[in-house]
């Protein structure tokens, strides 16, 4: 079964280069990589062109008209050829078995959310300066360090299937493409930062899928950066609550227009 890794990005080429370096370091290289680019400048394209020589990459770009992550993700996934989609953000560094872990845990009628550790500001700067993608458990600038621990044995014990939206995060996320299309992908009526991954997960759950919450597997490291604007968060929360209360399965404004 072919798989596709989708990476969302916007105008942080230094971080994207570290992400792609961690992809290149995988024990299982994804069959293809799609960069969902929300309108970055030429500096990002330059990094992508460099890694195209080493990895099978497609660059999906649209004009910068503000935060339109749901739209560019739908465009990218529409162009994917994999039956199984693994999704991260352009500020997420991967443990070397990340892809293998997602593929090993995939299952019909299931989607997956994994965990992350947070890298502090100064350590992030040092990582970019020295092109470092490996971290010590004992480094003082790491938060949620328990999420750094890698253990297939403990993962079997502590990972769980549920229909809970708690811990939903699109930066460490995977699903069958057919399930994504069935619920019409990301809801493009959610604009700006926040809740797009939770709202999608709610519709998947309403469609009788279970969420696998992975622990001690599919480990990621989140680089430090300035927070995005939350100005549309209340509106996005309202859309999410309607999906939950009315058990909506399919959004109206989604991926279908690109298929």
Domain residue limits, the chain: 3-258
Cα-based angle 179, 185, 191 (whole degrees, multiple of 5): 155
Burial pattern 25-44, b for ≥16 Cβ within 10 A else e, equals: ebeebbbbbbbbbbbbeeeb
pLDDT of residue 194: 82
Tokens of 124: 């992030």
Per-residue confidence in pLDDT tens, the chain, 259 aa: 999 999 999 999 999 999 999 999 999 999 999 999 999 999 999 999 999 999 999 999 999 999 999 999 999 999 999 999 999 999 999 999 999 999 999 999 999 999 999 999 999 999 999 999 988 888 889 999 999 999 999 999 999 999 999 878 789 999 999 999 999 999 999 988 889 999 999 999 999 999 999 999 999 999 998 877 777 788 999 999 999 999 999 999 999 999 9
pLDDT of residue 135: 87
pLDDT of residue 107: 97
Tokens of 39: 């309108």
Q: Which of the four CATH numbers 3.30.210.10, 3.40.50.300, 2.50.20.10, 3.90.550.10 does domain 3-258 have?
A: 3.90.550.10
pLDDT of residue 231: 77
Instruction: Tell me the per-residue pLDDT of 118-177, one tens digit each, with 9 for 90 and over.
Output: 999 999 999 999 999 988 888 889 999 999 999 999 999 999 999 999 878 789 999 999
Strand order in the sheet with 117-119: 92-94, 220-222, 117-119, 142-143
pLDDT of residue 106: 97
Cα 97 from Cα 36, distance rounded (Å): 22
Instruction: Tell me the per-residue pLDDT of 14-24, one tens digit each, with 9 for 90 and over.
Output: 999 999 999 99
pLDDT of residue 166: 83
């Amino acid at each position: 079964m072919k798989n596709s890794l989708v990476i969302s990005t916007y105008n942080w080429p230094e971080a994207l280069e570290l992400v792609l370096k961690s992809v290149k370091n995988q024990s299982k290289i994804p069959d293809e990589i799609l960069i969902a680019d929300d309108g970055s400048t030429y500096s990002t394209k330059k990094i992508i062109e460099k890694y195209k020589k080493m990895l099978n990459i497609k660059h999906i770009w649209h004009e910068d008209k503000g935060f339109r992550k749901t739209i560019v993700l739908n465009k990218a996934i529409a162009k994917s050829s994999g039956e199984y989609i693994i999704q991260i953000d352009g500020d997420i560094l991967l443990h070397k078995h990340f892809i293998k872990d997602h593929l090993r845990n995939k299952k019909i009628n299931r989607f997956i959310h994994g965990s992350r550790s947070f890298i502090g500001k100064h350590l992030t700067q040092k990582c970019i300066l020295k092109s470092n993608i490996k971290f010590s458990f004992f480094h003082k600038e790491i938060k949620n360090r328990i999420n750094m621990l890698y253990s297939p044995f403990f993962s079997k014990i502590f990972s769980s299937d549920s229909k809970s939206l708690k811990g939903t995060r699109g930066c460490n996320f995977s699903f069958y493409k057919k399930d994504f299309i069935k619920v019409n992908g990301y809801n493009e009526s959610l604009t700006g930062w926040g809740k797009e991954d939770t709202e999608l997960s709610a519709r998947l759950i309403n469609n009788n899928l279970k969420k696998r919450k992975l622990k001690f597997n599919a480990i990621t490291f989140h680089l430090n950066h300035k927070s995005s604007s939350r100005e549309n968060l209340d509106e996005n929360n309202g859309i999410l609550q309607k999906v939950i209360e009315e058990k909506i399965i399919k959004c109206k404004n989604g991926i279908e227009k690109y298929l």
